[in-house]
Amino acid sequence: MTDAHVEAPFHELTPLHASETPYDEETLRALHADADLVVARYPQKRSALLPLLHLIQSVDGYVTGRGVTFCAEKLELTDAEVSGVATFYTQYKRHPNGEYTVGVCTNTLCAVMGGDLIFDTLSEHLGIGHDETTPDGKVTLERVECNAACDYAPVVMANWEFIDNQTPASATQLVDDLRAGKEVRPTRGASKVCSFKHVSRVLAGFNDGLADEGVGAGGPSLEGLRLAKADGFDPYASSGEIRGDSDAESPADAPAPGLAGSTDTPANPADSKAGEKAGPA
Ligand code: FES
């Protein structure tokens, strides 16, 4: 990052910060220890880039220049290769992020159900626009694409936890509660919304054990399955027929016939060699 960049922030509420200050010894030691655990999960170390970038965010709050260099050295990549990945995905932040990312879905279904109105209401209430952060550093507001939660539209995400069936008033209450430090309970998943750094560590692959605290799938998500079962539909039938009277339980969490779960897929030696020449992640 150059001084010119530092003097030319994206916007006044989320300025670029110089991020080249080296990690202190203790932080660096902990980063290496965690990164070693992540890298060990992959047949090729460069495949660990995505979780390592989340790990950097769990420490720095965004992808810093020193974090880019750490990942590059750890994975034997160039800074440019790491930056190319970090700037491609919107979950990686290249400037300081708020303690809570509040993402309002303004994709088609949520938009027509009120998502645009919710975003505009929050933008005016907080005094910030897309990808900007409140002066207290608490909330970063974003427009987000479909969260595959259309059955609960309009949906707002708080650090990627679902807050379903929102209205401008309920979303305003949500951001007020987050800024006030009140505990916020998502509609599904974990029992509370955790901080951006906390969630980033989970995304890096360090389980906090909270994922199944709350409701997993609610009634609207399961309605199709209920109707299918009531109609005798067996999606796992191998005969090719789409209807049957099988009363076998639908293995909702089992892979489809012929497909192995990703954890069962062995590394292919031929692919491993090809992967050495492929791009990062
Ligand atoms: S359009 Fe908003 S969750 Fe799908």
Q: Is residue 201 in a domain?
A: no
How deeply is 171 buried, as exposed, middle or buried, from its count of CB atoms within 10 A (0-12, 13-18, 19+)? buried
Which residues span the domain enclosing 33?
3-86
Task: Say if ligand 1 is within 6 A of residue 165 CB.
Answer: no
- Rounded to the nearest angstrom, the distance between the alpha carbon of 160 and the centre of ligand 1 is 13
Q: Is residue 206 in a domain?
A: no
Task: Say if ligand 1 is within 6 A of residue 105 CB.
Answer: yes
Q: Is residue 139 in a domain?
A: yes
Q: Are residues 189 and 104 in the same domain?
A: yes
Cα of first residue to Cα of last residue in the chain, in angstroms, is: 23
248, 252, 256, 259: CA torsion to nearest 10: -140
Do residues 155 and 162 make contact, with C-beta atoms less than 8 angstroms apart?
yes
Task: Say if ligand 1 is within 6 A of residue 116 CB.
Answer: no
Q: Are residues 123 and 147 in the same domain?
A: yes
Q: Is residue 124 in a domain?
A: yes
**Residue 152 phi, psi (nearest 5):** -120, 20
Q: Is residue 175 in a domain?
A: yes
Helix, coil or strand: residue 104: strand
Q: Is residue 200 in a domain?
A: no
Q: What does each of the 281 residues of the chain score in pLDDT, given as a tens digit?
A: 444 344 433 445 555 555 678 999 999 999 999 999 999 999 999 999 999 999 999 999 999 999 999 999 999 999 999 999 998 999 999 888 999 999 999 999 999 999 999 999 999 999 999 999 999 999 999 999 999 899 999 999 999 999 999 999 999 999 999 999 999 999 988 889 999 999 999 999 999 888 777 777 778 888 888 888 898 887 666 555 544 444 444 444 444 443 333 444 444 444 444 444 434 43
Domains in the chain, number = 2
Q: Are residues 31 and 112 in the same domain?
A: no
User: Mean pLDDT, the chain, as a whole number?
Assistant: 82
Which amino acid does the sequence have at 176? D
- For residue 258, the model assigns a pLDDT of 37
H/E run at residue 141: strand 139-144
Task: Say if ligand 1 is within 6 A of residue 221 CB.
Answer: no
- For residue 18, the model assigns a pLDDT of 55
Q: Quick one: angle between helices 65-75 and 79-86, nearest 10?
A: 120
User: Residue 47 is part of a domain; what is its CATH number?
Assistant: 1.10.10
- Rounded to the nearest angstrom, the distance between the alpha carbon of 151 and the centre of ligand 1 is 8
